[in-house]
Structure 1
């Protein structure tokens, strides 16, 4: 039997900034990359909720969601090449519509479309350039193994304008709990090794991709450049440890400390050509929050 606990995790995949497989009904988190040698501080606040709606057929669900983020960039140095006040604040809002149904032989189909906007909101209204579209089609197989062990395989295709690629990408993820206290997940954008200390405490040792992309309304002129910056892009590769505490059933606190092996903040043209790199210094990465899980 396909239980509700398996449903939302199949469809809510991190695609912009952060997105991986999640099973969150609601989530509130805060991320900060403290000021480093480049005198730049990056922070992000994110809130989301998802509502599963049971359909008439057994195992079929419609998934409705909303995902909102604010991003702040503090440049604590004089930079005469562009107006740094135009890239201080960004906002992103995504609506999510998903559908899932069971297939044969322990497989399940998941489809999601996610329209939204991501912009610095320096103009009086939104425009077509602020629009971002994401879409996913995935096939999931989850199995219960012997001795309370299990595994999960996800195969599919994912596309997101907010990620910065102009073409669909393959999505592959494999999870296995191979011991009472140990499990792992191999895939992109996140790979981790998990230690289950108890029912309430868990540690994750992980590497992952993170990032953010937004439209620059009205563009930004850069001294010495013949082109105008139209896109703000953050791309990060990080590794570290995350602690999770289950406060009560389905409610969890988490805190992450990591190091960014690659941390690039750039201004780009509409053709995704890099005009200027604002920051490429590695730094500390801190993240904490609450999530309500199925």
Structure 2
């Protein structure tokens, strides 16, 4: 319990310090599933600019907290679900952006993350996840386009392995732009300077450690709960009071999977999630820009 309290203090200490953040954001996501159960996620986070040097490089520190709640409809699963109904995720992120020569840019991200049901009200090394990203951008100002490629490792996609990221972004005119690639693709229509609509397809998910034995098929298991979705839908963004943005999303999942995995990444139990609706509402506040190649999007 003492170690758990120290982690809370460190993470929320970062949050409190970050009141002068470049970006403060809040998101509430809801994924109902009539066959198995509902997944809801509430996230708050901040991003602190530490270095912003000569419009060439920037370094920022971010902290976030996510509460994930699962309400199970299917009570026929072969174990008591109360142990995996609530998860808490604390993250601390470092990000470095640099503009290189000839319209090249690079982004480096490293993140440590504690994600667990904290059933034991304590934590171990199994509650700790390390995420990272290395992404290169190549801007073509004349054509209003950009190529981006690299690799991302993020446990919150519900995957235990890194995934490649590649995308092509194109500005067609003042109103229309698109981005095609992985892990997300989207088309944007700018209605006016304050409002825009986007059609999107994106990877989403969740990973949390189950830090106490859970009895499945009358056997005790330790492992993780992983949920991965590919969501598609429509998003509305509204800018107000200069630096505030409100966004709302709604759509349907193209792929939806949740399972308990052992620490060897082998499946212990598959919940057989079916596709369903997806909703998300959020708000952010931006205090200023970070040094980064300006996307045509």
Please report the TM-score for the alignment, with normalisation by the length of structure 2.
0.83
- Tell me the SS of whatever aligns to 1:183: strand
Other-structure match for 2:278: 285
Specify the alignment match of 1:21 in structure 2: none
CA deviation string 1:162-211 (max 9, x = no partner): 44545433221221111221100111111011111111111111111110
1:30 aligns to 2:28 (yes or no):
yes
What is the CA-CA distance between 1:220 and the residue it aligns to?
Answer: 1.2
| Contact persistence 1:221–1:229 (CA under 8 A) | no
After superposition, give the CA deviation of every residue in 1:68-121 in whole Å (9 maximum; x if it has no partner): 111000013433611100011001111011222221101122211101111111
1:254 pairs with 233, 236, 247, which one? 247
What CA distance in whole angstroms lies between the structure 2 residues aligned with 1:57 and 1:247?
29
State the distance in 2 between where 1:71 and 1:129 align. 18
**Which secondary structure state, in structure 2, belongs to the residue aligned with residue 249 of structure 1?**
coil
Q: Residue 162 of structure 2 aligns with which residue?
A: 168
Distance in 1 separating the partners of 2:106 and 2:214: 43
Whole-angstrom distance in 2 between the partners of 1:54 and 1:198 = 33
Residue in 2 that maps onto 1:144: 141
- Report the 3-state secondary structure (helix = DSSP H, G, I; strand = E; otherwise coil) of the residue aligned with 1:129: helix
Indicate how the Cα distance of structure 1 residues 168 and 56 shifts in structure 2: closer, same or farther if over 3 A, else same: same
Residue of structure 2 in register with 1:186 after alignment: 180
Residue 79 of structure 1 aligns to a residue whose secondary structure is coil
Structure 1 segment 106-255 matched on structure 2, within 5 A: 106-145=103-142, 150-223=144-217, 228-255=221-248
Asked if the contact 2:243–2:285 (Cα under 8 Å) also holds between the matched residues in 1, the reply is yes
Separation (CA, whole Å) in 1 of partners of 2:254 and 2:53: 48
5+ unaligned residues in a row in structure 2: which ranges? 1-21, 290-297
Superposition deviation, residue 260 in structure 1? 1.1
Identify which of 59, 65, 68 aligns with 1:68: 65
Cα displacement (A) at 1:281: 1.4
Instruction: Measure, in 2, the Cα distance between the counterparts of 1:259 and 1:161.
Output: 22
The offset of 1:227, in angstroms, is 6.4
Distance 2:269 2:162 in 1: 26
SS at match of 1:86: helix
Query: 1:32 and 1:49, CA in 2 relative to 1: closer, same or farther beyond 3 A?
Result: same
Question: CA offset at residue 248 of structure 1?
Answer: 2.7
Of residues 51-60 and 133-142 in structure 1, the stretch that sits farther from structure 2 once superposed is 51-60
Aligned position for 1:100: 97
CA distance in 1: counterparts of 2:224 and 2:283, whole angstroms: 31
When residues 91 and 196 of structure 1 are mapped into structure 2, their CA distance, relative to the original with a 3 A threshold, is same
Q: In the superposition, relative to structure 1, how do residues 161 and 202 fare at CA in structure 2: closer, same or farther (>3 Å)?
A: closer
